[in-house]
Structures are given as C-alpha cells and as structure tokens.
Amino acid sequence: MKKKTKICEPKRKGYKTLYEKTKNELVILSEITSAMMQSLEPAQVIYTILTALTSHDGLGFNRAMFFLVDQEKQTLEGKMAIGVHSADEANKIWNQLDDNHLMLPNLIDAYDKFKNDPESKLNNIVKGISIPLCEDTGILALTILEGMPFEINTDEAKAMVNENIKDILNTDNFVTVPLKTRDRTLGVILVDNIFSRAPITKDDIRILNMFADHAALAIENSHLYEETVHLSHTDWLTGLWNTRYFNEVLKETIKKTKEDDSRLTLLMIDIDNFKTYNDTLGHQEGDQAIKNVADILNSSSRKNDFVCRYGGEEFSIIMVNTDKDDALIISERFRSEVENCFKKKSVGARHAVPLLTISLGMATFPNDAGEKNDMIRKADLALYESKQTGKNKASIYTPELDK
C-alpha cells in the first residue's frame, strides 16, 4: 500500500498566504469596479479611477495621472491627476486620512470638492500637458502606440522618457499602463510612489493591468452615455441644441443669473421669406438654408452663448451676462452676416427667389421678465415687431408691445 505524500507546513502556509492575497486583490478590484460603474459622467469616472489608484484601501500609489487620446488631433491630452506635489503635503494628507478614517467611498464622494479646488497643483500641471502621438515623444506616447505597459526603473528605460515630461511631473521611477478596449486604446494611466519611495512590484503591475481593463470599460461606457445624451439634446439637421434642452438651460440660467445678480438676454430669431424660398426651390434647398443660418449663428456667437434651433426656421440664443445694448450690437452682426451670405448665393441663381434675411427680437432678465415663459413671450413680441415693421432688423422688447 502506497503512503500518502504529506505537504510540508511551510508550503501549506505559502498557499494560504497566496490565497489570502489573491482574495484581497479580487475584493479590492470588485469594490473599485463597482464604484466606477456608479457614475456615467466621464470626469467623475476618471476621478473614481484615480482615487482608487491612490487611496490606502485601494491600490495605494502616491500619485496617479490620466491622459486621454484625442483621435482628431492625434495627441495625448492630460485630463486629471490625483496626488500631491511635495513630500510635506503628502505626509499632511496621509495623516489626515488616517485620523479621519477616510475610506474609498468617502474619497469618491468628495468629487465635487475636488473639481472646484483651484489649489490642486498636480492636477493643474497634468491638464496642461499635450503630447503628439509619435514614437519620438516618449514613454507616454509609446504606451499608446505599442499598447503595452512600461516600467521605468532602469537607466535604459529612463532614457526613453521625454525630459520635458520628466521635469514637469518631477518623477523618475514610475509605471504607465494603457487603457484598452477591444478595438482601440483610449488613454494612459501613470502611477508612481515618488514620496514613500516604495518599490512598484511585479504584483503591483499585474493588478494594475487588471484594474486598467476594468477602467477602460468604465470610460468607454461613460463616453457612449455622453454621446447618447448629447444626441438627445441636439437638433438632427443643424447640430444646434434642440428646444427641449433649450427650455432646461434657460430655466437653469435664469436661476443662476438671479443668484449672481447679473443680466441675461434672450434672442428669438426667424428667417424672413422662408416659405416662399422653400416652396420655390424645394425642401432640400430649404433645409440647406436653415443649416447655413445655423452655421452663421453658431460661428458668430460668443463662447458662452447658447445657440438653439427653436423650431422650423426659428432660432433662439441665450446670452449670459449681456444687456440689451450689447445684445443689439451682436444681433446686428448676425443680421448682416446672414444677409451677405444669401446675397452671394442669389448671384446667378436660376430662379427668382426672395432674398433670405433674419428678423430678431430680444428681452432681458430681470428688466423685462423674471421667469422662463415670460422671457420667451416677450422676446417673441419683439421678434413679431421686427417682422411687422419691415423685416431684416432687430427689435428690443418694450412694455408698449404688450398693448
């Protein structure tokens, strides 16, 4: 009869230790993945990822930085970083975390405070980084191009690091990992232990790569969600914001304007002679005319203006921190550019069609109206005044228009 082989006690302990370690890693990974999937806002997903990488009950790196691929520009853009910029600051924060027993969920809940923190020096530095996706621009770009992680801990590896990036980030030993989905690489995570000087082990890199796969999925989901939301808010023909979203934004903007004790002007705009133009040339030309006007309004408006297709051949623009005098000057620019655009198009036209122009009406908060519906009604009255008194002009709401 054969004797049973005994497993020696040290080997039993080794298996038990490995089992416990693997179990803890999976628990951490599960908790982090769950946290990432709780938000669909891209910036909050990135914040959750970086918080998980740096919190003590997460993966515990000193610093974590996120870079996102810009496919159109073919660059790698710094988006966010969590960590500190000096050893003193690091020790202060770590002591605070220990004293207050702040765990991963507490840190994730602090997102609103983080995004409004002007003193996050590392975050501001990373957001200013833009790297061309070329082989000669360093490790961060290579992480994308090669689709593989890099461990920077030898002289040979350090020679591949862009000197400018090394100086900006003040780091010498670090690891980069790509965030890959099935068909593309979305970005790069860079982690280091610049203050604790704790070595980044092979096990750290292994779980970091596992984490990166989950993070990439969370980011892709957030982008798909963002695209879906954007499409639901935009007009199919012009790409401008649609009426439903306009009503939401106007309501919120009036509320904020009240809090700031500032001014707000609403423009309502209508294309003159559009029905005759559309009936003469057909719906395709009519649609093209609407798109042309939309492009002019969009390109000629200011960065903070909110341009919307209100319906049919009518548009609206919410102009923040703008009084009637300034709105009138901007309205004249819109009117003139639309008139010149269609004058050029009418030269040599095969059909005799009326010249397309725009009429505009405006009302201002709080002088003319104190809430959304009244604001729209009074801007519409001013628009009607423009249409009735010659078209191709802008009118300001006055109380006489209500009579």
In percent, the amount of the chain with pLDDT more than 90 equals 48
Say which residue, 93 or 56, is predicted with more confidence.
56
Q: Is residue 375 over pLDDT 70?
A: yes
Mean pLDDT of the chain: 82
Residue range 50-61: mean pLDDT, rounded? 74
Q: What is the pLDDT of residue 307?
A: 97
Q: What is the pLDDT of residue 246?
A: 95
Compute CA distances 38 → 51, 94, 102, whole Å: 14, 26, 19
Q: How far apart are CA 242 and CA 230, in angstroms?
A: 10
Q: Is residue 37 over pLDDT 80?
A: no
Q: How many CB atoms lie within 10 A of CB 151?
A: 16
Picking from 58-67, 96-105, 235-244, which range would have the lowest pLDDT averaged per residue?
96-105
Which among 322, 319, 317 has a CA at the least distance from the CA of 307?
A: 317
> How sure is the predictor about 350, in pLDDT bands with cuts at 50, 70 and 90?
low
Active site residue 119: no
Q: Is residue 379 over pLDDT 90?
A: yes
**Residue for token pair 């709401």:** 397
Q: What is the pLDDT of residue 275?
A: 93
Q: In 274-371, which ranges are continuous DSSP H helix?
A: 274-281, 283-300, 324-346
Picking from 48-52, 107-111, 354-358, which range would have the lowest pLDDT averaged per residue?
107-111
SS3 for 309-324 is EEECCEEEEEEECCCH
The most confident of the ranges 168-172, 200-204, 322-326 is: 322-326
The most confident of the ranges 94-98, 152-156, 213-217 is: 152-156
| Count of residues making up the chain | 403
Q: What is the pLDDT of residue 384?
A: 96
Residue range 257-267: mean pLDDT, rounded? 93
Q: In 135-201, which ranges are continuous DSSP H helix?
A: 139-146, 155-158, 163-169
Q: What is the pLDDT of residue 186?
A: 92
Which among 208, 194, 198 has a CA at the least distance from the CA of 84?
A: 194
Q: What is the pLDDT of residue 40?
A: 63
Q: What is the pLDDT of residue 388?
A: 95
Q: What is the pLDDT of residue 163?
A: 85
Residue range 19-47: mean pLDDT, rounded? 63
**Do residues 397 and 378 touch, judged by C-beta distance below 8 A?**
yes
Q: Sketch out the chain's domains with CATH numbers.
A: 9-231 (3.30.450.40), 243-402 (3.30.70.270)
Q: How far apart are CA 138 and CA 148, in angstroms?
A: 14
Picking from 99-103, 187-191, 208-212, 233-237, which range would have the lowest pLDDT averaged per residue?
99-103
Strand partners, 265: 319, 364
Which residues make Cβ contacts (< 8 Å) with residue 82, sequence separation at least 6? Answer: 47, 50, 51, 53, 54, 63, 64, 114, 122, 123
Q: How far apart are CA 336 and CA 393, in angstroms?
A: 9
**Do residues 225 and 45 touch, judged by C-beta distance below 8 A?**
no
In the set 156, 252, 313, 314, the catalytic residue is 313
**Residue for token pair 């988006």:** 79
Positive or negative, the CA dihedral 42, 97, 193, 90 is: positive
Encode pLDDT of 269-328 as tens digits. 999 999 999 998 899 999 999 999 999 999 999 989 999 999 999 999 999 999 999 999
Kindly state the tokens that stand for 21: 């370690």
What is this structure's pTM?
Answer: 0.61
Q: How many CB atoms lie within 10 A of CB 218?
A: 23
Single-letter amino acid, residue 63: R
Give the E-state strand segments of 146-240 in sequence order.
Answer: 150-152, 174-180, 185-192
Crossing angle for the helix pair 283-300 and 324-346, nearest 10 degrees? Answer: 140
Residue range 219-241: mean pLDDT, rounded? 85
Q: How far apart are CA 345 and CA 340, in angstroms?
A: 9
Which residues make Cβ contacts (< 8 Å) with residue 111, sequence separation at least 6? Answer: 44, 47, 48
Q: What is the pLDDT of residue 20?
A: 57
> How sure is the predictor about 351, in pLDDT bands with cuts at 50, 70 and 90?
low
Q: Is residue 92 over pLDDT 60?
A: no
Q: Phi and psi for 313 in degrees, rounded to 5?
A: -100, 25
Left (φ > 0), alpha (ψ -120 to 50) or beta: where does 256 sit? alpha
Kindly state the tokens that stand for 157: 């590896």
Encode pLDDT of 96-138 as tens digits. 444 444 444 554 555 455 555 555 788 888 999 999 999 889 9
**Do residues 244 and 234 touch, judged by C-beta distance below 8 A?**
no
Residue range 3-20: mean pLDDT, rounded? 51
Q: In what side-by-side order are the strands of the sheet with 63-70?
A: 130-132, 75-82, 63-70, 185-192, 174-180, 150-152
Strand partners, 130: 77
